Amino acid sequence: MKFISWNVNGLRAVAGKGFADVFVDLDADFFCLQETKLQAGQIDLEFPGYLSYWNYAEKKGYSGTAIYTKHEPMSVRYGIGIDEHDHEGRAITLEYPDFFLVCAYVPNSQDGLRRLDYRMRWEDDMRAYLSGLPKPVVFCGDLNVAHEEIDLKNPASNRRNAGFTDEERAKFSALLDAGFIDTWRFQHPGEVKYSWWSYRFNARANNAGWRIDYFVVSAALRDRILTTAIHDEITGSDHCPVELVLG
């Protein structure tokens, strides 16, 4: 089974930059999107053979997640069942016979870390949600954290910036300690590759990026991890797609 996750930073925008061709070329069983920035009815973008599920933020043009899938789920959940977190369209869960697929767009702590306290609550609540699901989990999306220094170009100068605070990194460590695997780092322990680049300072041309898009799976799925990839050759967003193949 092939999974793709991509923060498209506005699906309507990326739809005009070859999104449909990328979608077809990648030919995934599950194609998860973050930051769709849509309300219901604002785009008609369906693909033969796929069902789609959408979670829209109440605030227009903000956040939002979606999943296209070739496999009809047993159940669908929008949000994580906590009112504080469930107004921004940040999570979708699809249930299958032997796993749950959770697509998430994790809140950014923002400039000045003004939303860091909220982010900490989100992290604890999401970890509890994932740990409480009664089957193995495939958790993916823009998790808005570079876990280790290897995961961003300039760790020293970004130490207290959103996405690379000690607090956010510790919460990702806590998720792994709760029985989950960072699939890319599991397969590529020393490789440097990024999934997001600022639009400023020619960051992408200089490959001054961050790895903040992930597939994280339950330890029970460890032996099913076949391949992982970061498709930094694919443009159209400030993020690129990331991939997981499970056997």
- Chain mean position to CA 65: 9
Measured CA to CA, the distance from residue 35 to residue 105 in angstroms comes to 7
Q: 67: how many CB neighbours lie within 10 A of its CB? A: 25
- 81 to 35, 129, 134, 236: CA distances (angstroms): 20, 9, 16, 33
d(C-alpha 240, C-alpha 52), whole Å: 21
Mind telling me the catalytic residues? 105, 142
Q: How far is Cα 130 from Cα 143, in angstroms, rounded to an integer?
A: 14
Q: Which residues lie closer than 8 Å to 215 by C-beta, 6 or more apart?
A: 3, 5, 138, 139, 140, 183, 184, 228, 242, 243, 244
Q: Position of tokens 């029985």? A: 179
**Residue 178: strand, helix, or coil:** coil
